[in-house]
Amino acid sequence: MLLQSIAINDHPGYEMQDAMTAKIKLARLYLETNRASSAFKVLTKLQEDLTNTDGNYNQQNGVKLSLYKILKAYYDQIGDVKAAYHTQTKYYSLKDSIEHINRGLKAADMDMAFELNAQKYNTVILQKESQLKTAYLIASGILALGAIFSLFFFWRDMKKSRSYIAKLKRLNHQNQQTLTALEQTREENDKILRIVAHDLRNPLSGITGVVALMMEEDGFTEETRQELALIKATGENSLSLVNELLQINFNMKDLEMSSLDMDELVQYCAELLKHKAETKGQTIVAKSTPVSILANREKIWRVLSNLIGNAIKFSPNDSVISIALQEVENHTVLVSVKDEGIGIPASMADQLFDIFTPAKRAGTAGEESFGMGLSICKQIIEAHGGKIWFESEIGKGTTFYFSLPTKA
């Protein structure tokens, strides 16, 4: 019945309000029968309807309240605590706004009632004007008092308006100062990045150059040549990273996209960092399935290398680092990097993906941390239309996830 109602009314010129109400009920039914993905599709369509449909203000707000309430239940069901919290915040914000408006309407109705009563009173006075001369004096007195009160309220409102305007000017000035300070800070950060890039580029170029010369010489075993090739590749990628530090806020249009074999890339990154893990007695286990996406290989390599490197850095000796790659629903690939490390405190969670974050700690072997890697990872993943997040438990380890669309 609900689907039939939606099919009939979900068209311009028909009862769109009835269609939206039916969608609310259908989404609730899907959640009650544990069909979360179906519920999310209905809710997504409902959000589009609210954006594209002009309707009664109160009815629209009523539908929005129901939408936020069911969205919160959906996120609770799939375990997305952060999204559930943001949705609940939207719900209460809209609810408070509606209640505030309703209170204002009630007050306006009372004012209107008072005005109507005053008019009725004046009418009665005028009707008896011919009979009671004193009624003129009373009416004149009432009008005079009304004028006095009106002038008083007008003066009070003007005074408040001037006060509000002055406050707004002060706030605008403060905002302008804040924006100026932020711009100066950004320029200073850019200068620091340029200095760092200049100081790192030459030694890295020297390393890759020496390794390239060594690879041209005879007398090395095949295993040694493979290790030299890995050193050369790492040096070249590090040089690219140094160059990109100058372009942290890169433009998606500048990325060269191509078909990327994620299975091969995961195995390559695991092999590339295997020797680094072995210095701490750690084991890297990579499980992946064949899947290709449209992406920039170098950028996604940087994300994987950073997450695996962090897992090595913050894990104890003789631990296991697990990498998993799988294709999930909605044309999405999901990658996870799990460690058995020290975990991430809740106090650092909200700042972890910030550029120049203060949430920096040394590794389990005293390795230095600069705190920029995860911010760059987040920018890369979001530039590809994906998401990145983590789950952590103090003393037991952390799992970082990122998802990417398999189609552009």
Q: pLDDT, tens digit, for every residue of 286-337? A: 999 999 999 999 999 999 999 999 999 999 999 999 999 999 988 999 999 9
* Pairing between β-strand 258-261 and β-strand 292-295 as defined by DSSP bridges: antiparallel
Side-chain-side CA neighbours of 168 within 13 Å: the count stands at 6
Partnered with residue 261 across adjacent β-strands are 292
Q: Which two tokens stand for residue 332?
A: 């999405």
Question: Using one digit for the tens of pLDDT, what is the confidence trace for 228-265?
Answer: 888 887 877 777 667 556 556 555 566 788 999 999 99
- 336 Rama sector, left if φ>0, alpha if ψ -120 to 50, beta otherwise: beta
3-class DSSP state of 367: coil
- Whether the pLDDT of residue 49 is over 70: the answer is yes
- Nearest alpha-carbon partner for 376 in 397, 400, 352: 352
Count CB-CB contacts under 10 A for residue 329.
Answer: 7
Amino acid at 51: T
Share of the chain above pLDDT 90, in %: 24
Question: Using one digit for the tens of pLDDT, what is the confidence trace for 109-167?
Answer: 566 666 776 677 677 777 777 778 787 788 888 988 888 988 888 888 888 888 888 88
- DSSP 8-class letter at 253: G
> Using CA atoms in the order 190, 192, 196, 201, what is the torsion angle rounded to 10 degrees?
30
What pLDDT score was predicted for residue 268? 95
- 13 Rama sector, left if φ>0, alpha if ψ -120 to 50, beta otherwise: left
Q: Where are the beta strands (DSSP E) in 250-311?
A: 258-261, 283-287, 292-295
